[in-house]
Amino acid sequence: MTDLTTLLEVGGPVAALGGGAAYTRAHHPGVYWSTVGLPLSTARLLSSYGSVMEACGLTVAPSRLRALAVQATTRREVRPVPPRRGLIRPTSTGLRLCLRLAPGQEPADIAASAERLRHAWGVHAVYVTTVRPGVVELRLVGFDVLRKVRMPRKTTADFLKIPVALREDSTPFVRDYRTVPHGLTLGATLSGKSMYLRHLVTGLARQPVALVGIDCKRGVELAPFAARLSALATDPDQAAELLPVLIQEMEDRYDLIKSRQGIAPSTPDEEITSDIWGLPERERPVPVVLLVDEVAELFLVATKKEEERRDEMVTQLIRLAQLGRAAGIYLEVCGQRFGAELGKGATMLRAQLTGRVCHRVNDEASSKMALGDIAPEAVSAACAIAPELPGLAVAGDTSGGWSRIRTPYLSLADAAETCRASAHLVPDLPALKPFRHDVPVPPPVESKAPAVRSRPVTD
Ligand SMILES: Nc1ncnc2c1ncn2[C@@H]1O[C@H](COP(=O)(O)OP(=O)(O)OP(=O)(O)O)[C@@H](O)[C@H]1O
């Protein structure tokens, strides 16, 4: 006899059936096929809502007033009360509905029953998020959206907010530099790090942002985007020249902020709490995003002289990570591993990189480097990523939250073309000119979609 529990196991046959099970609203209004082959319709959810909630232990005893009213008006038995349900809204991947928690319930109670709800309604997954105190949103996803990633149609990039991937609950994963200034992306070879970086570069390329690259793999990953990069270093020697220029740029920006605030130039940088976003728009320097691909190459040394250079570069990176945010300088560091074995300062630099994305890794130690200080469950989730799904990753932040994400496919040719087409947006930063690669670029064409403009910031 078939073991039904095994059939419904997440990541087992269910996940395998997930691809291609998508049903769109146009095909069948309000009906979505789950991966176990049962149609989940609004009507079915409506009719089974009360009994499913009761069976999953999500009901509470009715208030005395309600019990009296029921007894007085009907002869029915007084039933326990489920959380009050809001409107059921269909999405391209399933259904959404809000629940008002019954007195005595907390979001964790609903989240703890998510697996039971998933089976009761026969859907691929149920996600619970808190909307506001007392209200949670249930997101029922009918199939494995990470098998064949399609970003939601309404997803658009905002200034310094780049939707790079899709979360498993079918919401976009947005790399937001204003909220999480520095990020670390780890993954074994062929795990999809470059694809992640490709999406970041193409997203930022259309915005008034300076992109600076350090790619010590001789530039094989970032050189195709050279037309849009303000500076590119392709070996540790060039990186050693580029980093002091960025430090100088950061210090100049601090001086600019100080001069606007009327603070004496001798005030130590660390004591200035404001940032470039407080400057008037016409005086505000453009943000700089420093992309470092294969960070271990910067740390590797063979001779004593190289060791000194390495220590200097690590210190400079740590300074950029510590002070860069206020000056509008953000770090995006990628690598296969990032542990103490890389040398002095490695763990200190890692601690400064708040945003964490961990692709498939070869051992648990590597995923611990990325996610160990975020959540132990995230480490196990990263270790379970299969090689057949490149681009799949676990993304976390230091608030302890994490989710599985996957980038959509984007060819290198398309990404390079986007960079060439937006080459005219390279900001004027004279200090970085010596590091700019000469790439013949076509004249700017009138784009229908205007580039995202920097907006005055009010927060
Ligand atoms: N989201 C994705 N969907 C489909 N294919 C992907 C995805 N991400 C990556 N790939 C494919 O997987 C392969 C490896 O991806 P990628 O080059 O990004 O890995 P990497 O981690 O940068 O590897 P390396 O460190 O060796 O450069 C490529 O052929 C790429 O096209």
| CA-CA-CA-CA torsion sign (405, 411, 413, 414) | negative
Tell me: pLDDT of 26 over 50: no
CA 189–ligand 1 middle distance (angstroms): 8
Atom from ligand 1 closest to the CA of residue 217: 27
Structure tokens at 202: 């193409």
Distance CA 165, CA 149 (A): 8
CA 191–ligand 1 middle distance (angstroms): 6
Q: To test the ligand 1 pocket, which listed residue (146, 184, 190) has its Cβ within 8 A of the most ligand atoms? A: 190
Tell me: pLDDT of 37 over 80: no
CA 374–ligand 1 middle distance (angstroms): 25
CATH for 161-435 (3.40.50.300, 1.10.10.10, 3.60.110.10, 3.20.20.150): 3.40.50.300
Secondary element (H or E) of residue 329: strand 329-335
CB atoms within 10 A of CB 215: 25
User: What ranges do the domains of the chain cover?
Assistant: 4-64+79-141, 161-435
What percentage of residues in the chain have a pLDDT greater than 90? Answer: 50
Atom from ligand 1 closest to the CA of residue 336: 25
Confidence grade of residue 443 (pLDDT, cut at 50, 70, 90): low
Fold: same for 4-64+79-141 and 161-435? no
Confidence grade of residue 353 (pLDDT, cut at 50, 70, 90): very high
Q: Binding site annotation covers 188?
A: yes
Distance CA 238, CA 300 (A): 15
pLDDT of residue 3: 32
Confidence grade of residue 308 (pLDDT, cut at 50, 70, 90): confident
162 contacts 174 by C-beta, under 8 angstroms: yes
Question: Taking CB atoms and a 6 Å cutoff, what residues make up the pocket around ligand 1?
Answer: 187, 189-195, 390-391, 406-407, 409
Q: Binding site annotation covers 189?
A: yes
CA 81–ligand 1 middle distance (angstroms): 50
Tell me: pLDDT of 158 over 70: yes
Residue nearest to atom 9 of ligand 1 (CA): 192
Three-state DSSP class for 99? strand
Confidence grade of residue 7 (pLDDT, cut at 50, 70, 90): very low
Tell me: pLDDT of 14 over 50: no
Atom from ligand 1 closest to the CA of residue 191: 21
Atom from ligand 1 closest to the CA of residue 187: 21
Q: Binding site annotation covers 190?
A: yes
Residue nearest to atom 25 of ligand 1 (CA): 189
pLDDT of residue 400: 67
Tell me: pLDDT of 422 over 90: yes
Q: To test the ligand 1 pocket, which listed residue (195, 216, 222, 225) has its Cβ within 8 A of the most ligand atoms? A: 195
ipTM higher than the 0.90 cut: yes
The residue written with tokens 């990189």 in the block is 353
The pLDDT tens digits of the residues spanning 373-391 come to: 778 888 999 999 999 999 9
Distance CA 72, CA 268 (A): 74
Atom from ligand 1 closest to the CA of residue 221: 27
Closest CA to 320 of 260, 392, 242, 205: 242
Tell me: pLDDT of 69 over 90: no
Average pLDDT over residues 106-121: 92
pLDDT of residue 397: 65
Q: What is the CATH number of domain 4-64+79-141?
A: 3.30.980
In 47-123, where do the E strands start and end? 84-90, 94-100
Q: Binding site annotation covers 194?
A: yes
pLDDT of residue 303: 80
